[in-house]
Amino acid sequence: MAVTVMVVEGEALTAYEIERALTALGYEVSAVVASGEEALVCVPHTRPRVALIDVDLAGGLDGITTGRELRERYDIPVVFVTSDDDLHTLMDDKQANPYGCVLKPFKPMEFASAIEIALHRHRVEQELQRKTALLEAVLQSMEDAVIAADERGRLLVFNEAASEMFGGGFSAKRSSGGSGIYSADQLTPCPARELPLLSAMLGDTVRGHELFVRGSEFPSGSWHSVNATPLRLNDGSLGGGVMVSRNVTRLKLMEKELRKLSDTDPLTGTYNRRGFVSKAQQQLKRLQGEGRRSELLFVDLNGMKTINDSLGHAEGDQAIVDVTSVLKGCFTERDIVGRLGGDEFAILVVDERDARSVAEDLYSTVETFNSAQSRRYRLSISVGSCTYDPASPMPIDLMLERADQDMYRDKQRRKRKRREHLDQG
């Protein structure tokens, strides 16, 4: 199919010569008009592929304005026909942006060259526009934040997800913009030199870097896993960097919940042995750094087998829950309470308190609890302790072992007292 061309030429003789030349070259002349106003009216009906326009048109619209209107309204590539005198005006006009020029007096083959170049350039521009639109659509539909900056830190790409995650004031060279960006401890502002995007701009590749972001969109904070890659130009030089950030807050919360479940005793809601040992180890490190002493208590529920055998395991579970309630009432939230298994509990007392006075408080609280109940059994506990001295620290496992031994001695003492009391009675 022949390429259709519209001719916009005010001189009738020149218009005729152009039409004849184009027809001889195999083009189809869809319309010949004498003014810019006529061209704009004619285009919707004739839909030419290319417009040949004389720069020096008479009337309200000159050739350059007519060409600009045709491009903006109908996306038609324009080839200007001009004299040497008008060529300088055409080149100086920033808005003209011609796809090609043919100088008067023209040679027919010059039209063919100019038209084919204009069509090729137009096809390239349309393809670029399609790819740009596709890239923009992909970027804006992504849940991941995508940010790109040039070597000077000027943002080139900032998709909608990036705006939601980091705020509109994000800077490639600052640790904060619309949001505060923090290191993994959630408290320390991320230094600019550690920002993944800046690292990429300096030539480093970053994989799986974790950032914590707190801002207007996420006042409680959100976790992000970030990858960043240098942007290399064709000559191998650095042209900036690209950063892709994924919001992994939900995953982090799930991991936290799983850790909590794996560290928590399902019956009592306190730490299980694994959770207690882990938290106690962390606390002992802090106590050592602060040079403070602490007490580790080992508590055993007496008569658990008798309760299970005579009243059933459901009542035995209730006894465990009741002991837990007593323990929680005797200690602060800072103290670490855990059920080690069965009827055994451990408590790391964070504040410096005398182990014996704590034990007496426990015994007294148990008695108070028993007096307020009407059950077929009375709670009874045995308590042992081990002191943590930062001057001669010992591992938590050894402390538990020694506190367990001390608890066993306490159990034996209490049994002897009960027997003595019965004998005297």
Half-sphere exposure of 328 (CA within 13 A, CB side): 12
Rounded (10°) angle between helices 355-371 and 313-330: 130
Distance CA 3, CA 51 (A): 11
CATH number of the domain where residue 201 is located: 3.30.450.20
Contact 114, 105 (CB under 8 A): no
Residues 62 and 97 in one domain: yes
Does residue 257 fall inside a structural domain? no
Mark 83-95 as b/e (b = at least 16 C-beta within 10 Å): eeebeeebeeeee
Query: Do 46 and 122 sit in the same domain of this protein?
Result: yes
Contact yes or no for 323/339 (Cβ under 8 A): no
Please check whether residues 223 and 304 belong to one and the same domain: no
Displacement of CA 167 from its chain's centroid (Å): 12
**Quick check: 81 and 108 in contact, CB under 8 A?**
no
Q: Are 144 and 161 in contact (CB under 8 A)?
A: yes
Range of the domain at 30: 4-137
The confidence score (pLDDT) of residue 91 equals 56
The reply to whether 386 falls in a domain is yes
Whether residue 118 is found in the same domain as residue 198: no
Closest CA to 197 of 180, 182, 209: 209
Side-chain-side CA neighbours of residue 308 (13 Å): 10
Q: Which alpha helices (H) appear in 36-107, and where do they start and end?
A: 36-46, 63-74, 84-92
339 shares its domain with 291: yes
Strand order in the sheet with 28-33: 28-33, 4-8, 50-54, 78-82, 100-103
Q: Is residue 259 one of the residues assigned to a domain?
A: no
pLDDT for the residue 382: 93
CATH classification of the domain holding 354: 3.30.70.270
* Structural domain includes residue 313: yes
One domain, residues 414 and 269: yes
pLDDT at residue number 135: 87
Q: Is 348 helix (H, G, I), strand (E, B) or coil?
A: strand
Q: Do 14 and 149 sit in the same domain of this protein?
A: no
Are both 285 and 412 inside the same structural domain?
Answer: yes
The answer to the question of residue 258 being in a domain is no
**Would the pTM of this model clear 0.85, i.e. be above it?**
no
Q: Is residue 354 part of a domain?
A: yes
pLDDT at 178: 47
Q: Is 220 helix (H, G, I), strand (E, B) or coil?
A: coil
Indicate whether 342 and 246 sit together in one domain. Answer: no
Which letter, b or e, does each residue of 370-383 get, where b requires 16 or more Cβ atoms within 10 Å of its Cβ?
Answer: eeeeeeeeebbbbb
- What's the confidence (pLDDT) of residue 175? 47
**DSSP states of 264-280 as a string?**
B-TTTSSB-HHHHHHHH
Q: CA 269 to CA 325: how far, in whole Å?
A: 10
* Domain limit, last residue, from 252, 274, 290: 252
Tally of helices (H runs) and strands (E runs) in the chain: 13, 15
**What is the predicted pLDDT for the residue at 94?**
53
Any domain includes 290:
yes
Residue 120, in any domain of the structure:
yes
Please state the domain count of the chain.
3
Residues 121 and 191 in one domain: no
| Among candidate residues 93, 111, 137, the one where a domain is terminated | 137
> Do the bridges between strand 222-232 and strand 28-33 make them parallel or antiparallel, or are there none, so unpaired?
unpaired
Sequence-distant (≥ 6) Cβ neighbours of residue 168 within 8 angstroms? 177, 178
Q: Are residues 317 and 406 in the same domain?
A: yes
Closest C-alpha among 46, 43, 25, 24 to residue 35: 43
Q: Do residues 29 and 5 make contact, with C-beta atoms less than 8 angstroms apart?
A: yes
Sign of CA dihedral 400, 406, 409, 411: negative
The parts of the chain modelled with pLDDT lower than 50 are: 175-178
- Angle subtended by helix axes 249-263 and 273-290, to nearest 10: 100
**Domain edge (last residue) among 114, 137, 160:** 137
Say if residue 164 is in the same domain as residue 278: no
Alpha carbons 151 and 230: distance in angstroms, whole number? 10
